Amino acid sequence: DIFMVETQFWEAGVDTTWYVDKDSLQDYKTLGLTAVVGGKLTEARNRGLRDAKAKRKVCVQVSDDISAWEYRDGPNAEVRTDDAMNAAHAAARRLIVSPVAAARFVVAKMRGAEEPRPKLGGVYMLGSCARTFASDAFARQHFILGDFFVVEPSSTVTFDLNMKLKEDYDFTAAHITKYGSPLRGEPP
C-alpha cells in the first residue's frame, strides 16, 4: 500500500512526489505526502517524465500498491518444467531491496547493455518469479509494467494521451520502435 511504498523511499533518503488527479490531491496531502495535480493517468505519467527530464534525472515511476522489491539470486533450472523452476526459485537467495536500489540496478543494467541501449527499464511483474528461472536474468523483448519502471532523461517517448488502458504496453511498444528495446529484469 501507499504507506509501505512511501516508507521504503523515505528510508532510502528519497523525497517522493505523487502525481495525482485533482480529486485525490487533498487525500494525499492529508497523509503528509508531497503531491501535485498531474491529471488522469497518462497526463500524470507525462508530467512525471517532464519534471524528471527538466532536472536531468532518471524518472522512476511507482504505483502506490507495491509491497516489496525482491530479487532472487541463484542458478537457473536445468530443465524448463514447473517443478524444476519452482525448485530453483525456492533455492535462490532472496534479497529484499529498497526501491532506490532496484531503480539504480535496472538503470546500471540499461547503461551497460549492448547497443542500442534501452531507455526504458523495469522488472518482472509477478510476486512469484519462478518461471524466470529458465531464462536470462534480463530480457529485451518483454513489456514493462507501469507499476515500477525507470526512464532515461534522454528518452523523448511520452505516454499517448488517448490511451485509457494498457498505456504501459503502448509506452513499451513506442520505446521498442524508437530505441530498439526496453530492458526488463527477469531474476535470474
Instruction: Convert the pLDDT of each residue in 92-112 to its tens digit.
Output: 898 889 999 999 999 999 999
Question: CA nearest 111: which of 170, 156, 154?
Answer: 154
Angle formed by the axes of helices 99-112 and 2-11, to 10°?
70
What distance, in Å, lies between the first and last C-alpha atoms of the chain? 26
Beta pairing partners, 69: 97
Backbone CA torsion sign across 100, 103, 109, 110: negative
Confidence of residue 126 (pLDDT cuts 50, 70, 90): low
Give the pLDDT band (50/70/90) at residue 139.
confident
Core vs surface per residue 75-96: b (16+ CB within 10 A) or e: ebbeeeeeebbeebbeebeeee
pLDDT-above-70 percentage for the chain:
97
> What is the average pLDDT value for the chain, to the nearest integer?
90
HSE, CB side, 13 Å, CA atoms: give it for residue 79.
4
**Per-residue pLDDT at 132:** 76
- Per residue in 20-74, pLDDT (tens digit) is 999 999 999 999 999 999 988 999 999 999 999 999 999 999 988 888 888 888 8
Q: Residue 127: its pLDDT value, please?
A: 63
Coil vs helix vs strand at 121: strand
Report the candidate in 133, 149, 135 with the shortest Cα–Cα distance to residue 183: 149
